[in-house]
Structure 1
């Protein structure tokens, strides 16, 4: 497919996980992709095998307002326009609320929420010209609470409603704004969780599909939302969670009875 031929896409947090998978998906579909991330070498790994002229490596911290301005300005300077913004960069702080420091709270909000505000604000004047779209990375943790993830829950919950608010404001002006809400997805960030059999058993018992998602599986949904295939989809926060949100949270009684 070449749904994004000659389109220009910014993907934040493109050095690993969902961001890397998303950047590769857009490259495969013909887009020019601007890759943001903190580690330059990881961004180069993401584009390995692709034509370097099809991308722009742009390392930096998206919680820094001035950096985000440069990110968008440099995109326009190199490619002349912007069609899609994917706000993917994010971090999670684990632990009891009482042990969450001010620094941890602010870092989580800066990366997961402030960055989306900065990037959206800078990108929207250009997206209005191209009638483009924004896809934000929320989470099932932005749709409900988790044990030990209060800062992440707060940031992703705010991002969920921020997506809806912008969709109301900009939809009639030709810019669609949506979000995906993944559940557990295999990445560097989840390596510690995946190395714990007890943790993974708890997760997979709740997931009807019985496993974590892959970054490429989330990337496919992001590409759909950004494409003309979703031309009448606006203000949606789409769970990509293997059926997790279909449950009322009760244990899998059938599996318990079978033991």
Structure 2
């Protein structure tokens, strides 16, 4: 098992990518601290992985003291901390005209500041284990879709933090920091979001090739499989790296002329 006896915090692990990562980590021999907002969904994940392998902490990471409580839970329950997966995020549509300061601050608080705070709080424990951090970003970090301004800004900042801390913490604390930037992933929340936008329930079965050359989008378990490499000792001393997980080159890709597009009802 590639993560045998490692203790890993996975934020936002009651649904989607975080859930898939937590389940895969346990399959690979790790003990996991689950975190999210939905108690019922969190308990479902806890039952899947087994209560002997995980502990659940339901709390908004933006709440005062939440990060400290999360780290303390890992230490008191499992006795150490080997890795942190910063996955929790708010995905919300906005552009220049619909984004006000309060909305932007909210997204930055959860998507960027909470990961920063968790790294800082966990660092003494990670240093003891020569551990690592894996940040879950987004290909939108590079510029973002037209209606994902605030979200894209938060992920861009997260990527810069990964590059910066990936150098300094590896050099000074023997703690590696890397990042995965997923592309379009079929999570539960993404399926719901598209249906709320007026698309059919089975919208994901016919994705235009401009978005999905393979004929489908990514699954959470595929992101989880990639995460295991960065959390395991197999990645060696590698740090400060950002890896895009998508099925086409996101930057500089020119869609074919007259390509079919996936339009959402207005």
CA distance, structure 2, for counterparts of residue 62 and residue 181 of structure 1: 21
Any residues of structure 2 matched to 1:1-259 within 5 Å, and which?
2-172=1-171, 173-191=173-191, 192-193=193-194, 196=199, 204-245=209-250, 248-253=252-257
- Secondary structure at 2:84's aligned position in 1? strand
CA distance, structure 2, for counterparts of residue 155 and residue 4 of structure 1: 30
Q: In terms of mean alpha carbon deviation, does 35-44 or 9-18 score higher?
A: 35-44
TM-score (norm 2): 0.89
CA distance, structure 2, for counterparts of residue 102 and residue 202 of structure 1: 35
Deviation of 1:203 after TM superposition, in Å, equals 6.2
Q: In terms of mean alpha carbon deviation, does 59-68 or 204-213 score higher?
A: 204-213
CA distance, structure 2, for counterparts of residue 166 and residue 203 of structure 1: 38
Tell me if the contact between 1:142 and 1:154 (Cα under 8 Å) persists in the aligned partners: yes
Deviation of 1:101 after TM superposition, in Å, equals 2.9
CA distance, structure 1, for counterparts of residue 92 and residue 137 of structure 2: 15
Deviation of 1:97 after TM superposition, in Å, equals 1.6
Tell me if the contact between 2:46 and 2:56 (Cα under 8 Å) persists in the aligned partners: no
Give the number of aligned pairs: 254
Deviation of 1:187 after TM superposition, in Å, equals 1.2
Tell me if the contact between 1:207 and 1:244 (Cα under 8 Å) persists in the aligned partners: no
Tell me if the contact between 1:143 and 1:160 (Cα under 8 Å) persists in the aligned partners: no
Q: Which of structure 1's runs of 4+ aligned residues deviate more than 3 A?
A: 199-204, 253-256
Deviation of 1:87 after TM superposition, in Å, equals 0.2
Runs of 5+ consecutive residues of structure 1 not aligned to the other structure? none
Q: In terms of mean alpha carbon deviation, does 132-141 or 184-193 score higher?
A: 184-193
- Secondary structure at 1:73's aligned position in 2? helix
- Secondary structure at 1:86's aligned position in 2? strand
- Secondary structure at 2:65's aligned position in 1? helix
Deviation of 1:65 after TM superposition, in Å, equals 4.1
TM-score (norm 1): 0.91
What RMSD over aligned residues (CA atoms) do the two structures have, in Å? 2.1
Tell me if the contact between 2:94 and 2:150 (Cα under 8 Å) persists in the aligned partners: no
- Secondary structure at 1:96's aligned position in 2? coil
- Secondary structure at 1:196's aligned position in 2? coil
- Report the CA distance shift for 1:203/1:184 in structure 2 as closer, same or farther (over 3 A): farther
- Secondary structure at 1:180's aligned position in 2? strand
CA distance, structure 2, for counterparts of residue 180 and residue 203 of structure 1: 24
Deviation of 1:91 after TM superposition, in Å, equals 1.0
CA distance, structure 2, for counterparts of residue 189 and residue 50 of structure 1: 21
Tell me if the contact between 1:183 and 1:213 (Cα under 8 Å) persists in the aligned partners: yes
- Report the CA distance shift for 1:153/1:255 in structure 2 as closer, same or farther (over 3 A): closer
